[in-house]
Amino acid sequence: MPDPALARKILRDAELICTADEVQAAIRRVAAEITSRLADAYPLVLTAMGGGVFFAGQILPLLRFPLDLDYIHATRYGAQTVGASIEWRVPPPPGVRGRTVLVLDDILDGGNTMAAVRDRVLGQGAGSFLCAVLTEKVLPVPKPIAPDFAGLRLPDKFVFGCGMDARGYWRNLPEIYALKED
């Protein structure tokens, strides 16, 4: 059951990590990097639901080249703060075969979900796979995948805002916060 009082407490107790201006500057930089690399590729861009919606909505108008757009939905978190096994709610479309595929997502944390997306897309015959994330969490351990484009590097904290949620709340914030550590 949604609890607006809990949502407000989470935000009130949170630590600001990146301002809205920092987020927007990172999105503009990533858009320029993507354009430089993919402007002539006519890529298939897949938005990762639901966290990637914020990033996609901000970056797509800045990509001034032809592209096809679709979405995927693979999750390991749901409303939890610890990842579990991957659940495919919407798999990649059949149209990935032979295409340059760019996946847009909110965060590359441990990298397991994005690695599974990459494997699935390439397994369906994509010509190449690239990923762009608004944020990448800096972790002390190796990841199974590195982003091709990353907007902001974040500390190893549970973060929310800009598409990322805290217990299901606050994906809509224009800045990024970290949950209060107990």
**Given pLDDT bands bounded at 50, 70 and 90, which one contains residue 53?**
very high
**Given pLDDT bands bounded at 50, 70 and 90, which one contains residue 51?**
very high
* Cβ contact 166:179 at 8 Å: yes
Instruction: With CA atoms as reference, report the closest residue to 132 among 27, 36, 40.
Output: 27
Which helix (H) or strand (E) covers residue 112, if one does? helix 112-123
Does residue 82 carry a pLDDT above 60? Answer: no
Question: Could you report how far apart the first and last alpha carbons of the chain are, in Å?
Answer: 24
Q: What is the pTM for the complete model shown?
A: 0.93
Give me the CATH topology for the region 18-178: Rossmann fold (3.40.50)
Question: Percentage of the chain surpassing pLDDT 70?
Answer: 95
Does residue 79 carry a pLDDT above 80? Answer: no
Can you give the pLDDT at residue 179? Answer: 95
| pLDDT, tens digit, 9 for 90 and up, residues 118-164 | 999 999 999 999 999 999 999 999 999 999 999 999 999 999 999 99
SS3 151: strand
**Given pLDDT bands bounded at 50, 70 and 90, which one contains residue 77?**
low
Can you give the pLDDT at residue 87? Answer: 87
Can you give the pLDDT at residue 86? Answer: 85
Which helix (H) or strand (E) covers residue 47, if one does? strand 44-48
